[in-house]
Amino acid sequence: MLLPTNTLLMTDPLRLVRPNILALEPYATARDEFDGGDISVWLDANESPYTNGVNRYPDPHQKELKKAIARLKGVDEACIFVGGAGSDEAIDLTYRIFCRPGIDNAVAISPSYGVYRVAAAINDVKYREVMLADDFTLDTDSLLAATDANTRLIWICSPNNPTGNAFDTDDLEALADRFDGILVVDEAYVDFSTRGTMLSALARHRNLIVLQTFSKAWGMAGLRTGMAFACPEIAALYGRVKYPYNLNGPTQREVMSRIADGLQGHVEEIRREAVRLSRSLSESGCVEKVYPTDANFLLVKVSDADAVYHRLIESGILVRNRSSMAGCEGCLRVTVGTPAENDLTIEAFARIGRGDAPLAKRPERKGSTDRTTSETSIEAAVNLDRSTESAIDTGLKFLDHMLWQIPHHAGIGVRLTCKGDLYVDEHHTMEDVAIALGDAMREALGDKRGIERYGFVLPMDESRAMVLIDLGGRIDLEWDVEFTREYVGDTPTEMFGHFFKSLATAMRCNLHISARGENNHHLAEAIFKAFARALKAAVRRDPFNDTIASSKGVI
């Protein structure tokens, strides 16, 4: 239904809610019924009393996490819903809150994200699509023309998946004004866009819902955490309809810690790479057009989408074939990868354009070791070319926390388990873990063909760490670090120097580490992060160069 402009600013969104949802008496968890007090014995939720990190139910309202999100986004906590199956959970709940099955309908742009349609079907809600123009621009009049008295939702994805373009926020606000239902704007890719967010429009439009996610720019797709932002009345409805513990405890903690780490410059790198990838792919003989993007992917129109798709697979590169989608005929959707991955993609497209055979694939560089002595038993494995599936358990919790910086910040895979004689002390565990890790790294580096060899990293955070690395084969450690505490957590600080000495010896590398900082935890963390960043730069393999980075020809 269409309404004259500006009559709706004060419209009560609750009027649009399904009657059964408005009348709902939500499930009250054990923790809901208790409102503060000095409790030391928790016998209210039939949990296991044995502490293991996950034996207690998590906060069903995710108060701490919402505080962090509120700070990050500049939005009131009362306006936030956090979903435990990503923003896909919010999409499903939106239908459940507003659309009467078999009666109401939703209108969406096309081509767009497929989950809106599937979630509509699951909820028995009719789904109407309005095609974007040939250049993927949006005509809000034709969208409104597709609505009727039973249209509860309009879905707009901006930047839009798979077309990559963002819509004008003023146009979207005007649409919210004119629509007598709920406008949902899915901003999954907004962190990559320079076109602005609709979050600041929430205060002006109580019929607006904005979806965002930690899955894309924030690099947490595996944690399945998405958000809906809306006026407090709608946000409270999500809270009532969701399953009580929809976001598990480890995920809440992990997301908070990664929010604190920030975006680490990855967004700028992806944006730069998107420009480079777009220019380079346009030059390939098989590419007809690369559409402009406000996101971390490119929609690429090629001469024969199925053929190019399969030729890319032969080169070990998987993209999304969107050519069967109306409006995307002949198109592939290509996610922007790391600079090295983009180099390979550019080369693969160039070869396909010329009709050349695919570049021979290089095997991944892996190394592993099983090391058992009377003091420790260690399994270590590294993969320098793939960051998936890391696992670290040395028995020392703080050391584990430090070692996790290596896969996180070097972008490599590390699996490391140690059963050590911690009842004696931490010495053997720390020394032997370093040796095993270094042995696995040395094996993975192999003949070191094509590697950059050197890595440099300079200041980080309020603690500063400088790490220089040379993988040339000479063994040395320069260690200029002073801790002021004997222990951080369960880990002795005097052992860190020895740890890096053992690691450098086993890896056969030259390491210069100097660091300063007030807080010993941050100081150690800055060292491990900087080490990981330097390592990342040094092990990086030039995909087109197979020579050895030394004037002597061997390192």
Find, among 473, 484, 482, 461, the residue nearest to 511 by Cα.
473
**Residues 219, 269: contact at Cβ < 8 Å?**
no
| Residue 136: strand, helix, or coil | coil
Rounded to the nearest 5 degrees, what angle is found at the Cα of 264, between the Cα atoms of 530 and 365? 60
Q: Which residue number, 186 or 432, has a Cβ lying nearer to ligand PLP? A: 186
Listing from the earlier edge strand, what are the strands of the sheet with 287-290? 287-290, 297-302, 331-335, 320-321
How many Å apart are CA 104 and CA 97, to the nearest integer?
Answer: 12
Q: Which residue number, 111 or 239, has a Cβ lying nearer to ligand PLP? A: 111
How many Å apart are CA 529 and CA 494, to the nearest integer?
Answer: 18
Residue 213 Cβ vs ligand PLP, minimum distance, rounded to whole Å: 3
Q: Which residue number, 162 or 411, has a Cβ lying nearer to ligand PLP? A: 162
How many Å apart are CA 182 and CA 152, to the nearest integer?
Answer: 6
Residue 227 Cβ vs ligand PLP, minimum distance, rounded to whole Å: 8
Tally the C-alpha atoms within 13 A of residue 413's C-alpha that lie toward its C-beta: 16
Q: Which residue number, 93 or 418, has a Cβ lying nearer to ligand PLP? A: 93
Residue for token pair 């009727």: 148
- The residues facing 86 across adjacent strands are 84, 225
Q: Which residue number, 157 or 237, has a Cβ lying nearer to ligand PLP? A: 157
Return the residue nearest ligand PLP (CB atom).
86
Q: Which residue number, 337 or 358, has a Cβ lying nearer to ligand PLP? A: 337
How many Å apart are CA 184 and CA 551, to the nearest integer?
Answer: 60
Residue 538 Cβ vs ligand PLP, minimum distance, rounded to whole Å: 33
Residue 165 Cβ vs ligand PLP, minimum distance, rounded to whole Å: 13
How many Å apart are CA 347 and CA 351, to the nearest integer?
Answer: 6
CA distances from 401 to 152, 397, 525 (A): 47, 6, 8
Residue 181 Cβ vs ligand PLP, minimum distance, rounded to whole Å: 20
Which ranges of 315-378 does DSSP label H, i.e. alpha helix? Answer: 339-354
Residue 196 Cβ vs ligand PLP, minimum distance, rounded to whole Å: 17
* Residues at the contact surface with ligand PLP, assessed by CB under 6 A: 86-88, 113, 157, 161, 186, 188, 213, 215, 221, 226
Residues 6+ apart with CB under 8 A from 474: 508, 509, 510
DSSP secondary structure letters along 35-92: ---------SS----S-SSSSSPP-TT-HHHHHHHHHHHT--GGGEEEEEEEHHHHHH
Residue 76 Cβ vs ligand PLP, minimum distance, rounded to whole Å: 21
CA distances from 38 to 34, 41, 42, 49 (A): 11, 9, 11, 18
Residue 216 Cβ vs ligand PLP, minimum distance, rounded to whole Å: 6
**Residues 503, 438: contact at Cβ < 8 Å?**
yes
Q: Which residue number, 163 or 315, has a Cβ lying nearer to ligand PLP? A: 163
Residue 453 Cβ vs ligand PLP, minimum distance, rounded to whole Å: 37
Q: Which residue number, 88 or 273, has a Cβ lying nearer to ligand PLP? A: 88
Q: Which residue number, 164 or 239, has a Cβ lying nearer to ligand PLP? A: 164
Find, among 467, 486, 471, 468, the residue nearest to 541 by Cα.
471
First to last CA, the chain: 73
Q: Which residue number, 118 or 422, has a Cβ lying nearer to ligand PLP? A: 118
Q: Which residue number, 219 or 473, has a Cβ lying nearer to ligand PLP? A: 219
Q: Which residue number, 192 or 309, has a Cβ lying nearer to ligand PLP? A: 192
Number of other CB atoms surrounding residue 194 within 10 Å: 7
Residue 109 Cβ vs ligand PLP, minimum distance, rounded to whole Å: 11
Residue 159 Cβ vs ligand PLP, minimum distance, rounded to whole Å: 8
Find, among 395, 357, 384, the residue nearest to 489 by Cα.
395
Residue 210 Cβ vs ligand PLP, minimum distance, rounded to whole Å: 12
Q: Which residue number, 88 or 431, has a Cβ lying nearer to ligand PLP? A: 88
| Residue 369: strand, helix, or coil | strand
| Residue 34: strand, helix, or coil | coil
**If 0-12 CB within 10 Å is exposed, 13-18 middle and 19+ buried, where does residue 265 land?**
exposed
Q: Which residue number, 238 or 499, has a Cβ lying nearer to ligand PLP? A: 238
Cis peptide upstream of residue 407 (ω within 30 degrees of 0): no
- The residues facing 393 across adjacent strands are 417
**If 0-12 CB within 10 Å is exposed, 13-18 middle and 19+ buried, where does residue 353 land?**
middle
Residue 81 Cβ vs ligand PLP, minimum distance, rounded to whole Å: 12
Residue 429 Cβ vs ligand PLP, minimum distance, rounded to whole Å: 38
